[in-house]
Amino acid sequence: MDKATYIGVVMALLILAFLSAGKIGMFASSHAAVVVFGGLIASTFVKFNLHDLKNTSAILAKVFREPQGNTNDIIAQLVEMSNICRKDGILALEKYKTSNKFMQNGINLCVDGAAPEFLADVLGKEIEYLSHRHHVGVTMFESMGEAAPAMGMVGTLIGMVELLANMEDPSKIGPAMGTALLATCYGAIVANMLTIPMGIKLAHYSSEEQLHCTVIMEGLLGILKGVNPRVLESSLRSVLSTRERDLV
């Protein structure tokens, strides 16, 4: 569970609740909501195919779930495997199990006698395909972040047209102006409190997961090549910041 995402969402809701306390009715507009949310959904359907849209819930779930493991733990596992191989040989890894699917796949290839070049090719392609899959989710939320304010502007323009068309009836000017302003408000809130931050977090998590996979690939290649465990650890720890190295 990613506590930071939950904290951010709750804080956003509390801020909105505080600002609208006792006046929630003033900030409710079905017309503005239909234009902004309906337009946002419609534009997303135009931009992406149904296969991508079916995965929206899974993509959204990643925002609320931290990536599996951390770099220090991954390096520790690789060093442990290196020590096992140094003592008992590469086939001893057959009994080594991990919940990290990418690492387990690499271990299986090592045990099956894959050459370093073949291992690098297979795992490198897997990282490349992983990047492509993540790009779809990141692009989807970034595009929604761009579309939300635009839909808000569309709602504003519709409200202004309605306002100007009813200038002779003062009773209709207020609701039309309210629709115009609330559409912009809805678009700004959705973009800056939800979709854009979620897109940024997805991009960050994608980069972090690719880094973990790269570390795993380099570690397994070092194991296959018989690199000394201490040398391998020193090499892999170069990816860590000074602060992270001090934590070990």
Tokens of 181: 């302003």
CA distance 33 to 39: 9
CA distance 79 to 236: 9
pLDDT at 47: 92
Angle at 208 between CA 108 and CA 129, to 5 degrees: 55
Read off the pLDDT of residues 177-188 as tens digits, 9 standing for 90 and up: 877 888 899 999
Angle at 243 between CA 239 and CA 246, to 5 degrees: 95
So where are the chain's domains? Answer: 29-72+115-247
- Helix 56-63 / helix 196-224 crossing angle, nearest 10 deg: 80
CA distance 64 to 45: 23
CA distance 212 to 81: 16
Residue pLDDT tens, the chain, 248 long: 678 888 888 888 888 888 777 677 777 888 888 999 999 999 999 999 998 888 888 888 888 887 777 888 899 999 999 999 999 889 999 888 888 999 999 999 999 999 999 999 999 999 999 998 899 889 999 999 999 999 999 988 888 887 787 777 777 777 778 778 888 999 999 999 999 999 999 999 999 999 999 999 999 999 999 999 999 999 999 888 777 666 65
Task: Give, as one character, the DSSP assignment of residue 100.
Answer: -
Which amino acid does the sequence have at 88?
D
pLDDT at 180: 82
Task: Give, as one character, the DSSP assignment of residue 238.
Answer: G
**Predicted TM-score (pTM) of this structure:** 0.81
pLDDT at 201: 92
pLDDT at 247: 61
Q: DSSP of the chain, one letter per residue? A: --HHHHHHHHHHHHHHHHHTTT-GGGG--HHHHIIIIIHHHHHHHHHS-HHHHHTHHHHHHHHTSPPSS-HHHHHHHHHHHHHHHHHH-GGGGGG---S-HHHHHHHHHHHTT--HHHHHHHHHHHHHHHHHHHHHHHHHHHHHHHHHHHHHHHHHHHHHHHHHHTTT-HHHHHHHHHHHHHHHHHHHHIIIIIIHHHHHHHHHHHHHHHHHHHHHHHHHHHHHTT--HHHHHHHHGGGS-HHHHHH-
CA distance 112 to 238: 29
pLDDT at 104: 94
3-state secondary structure of 99: coil
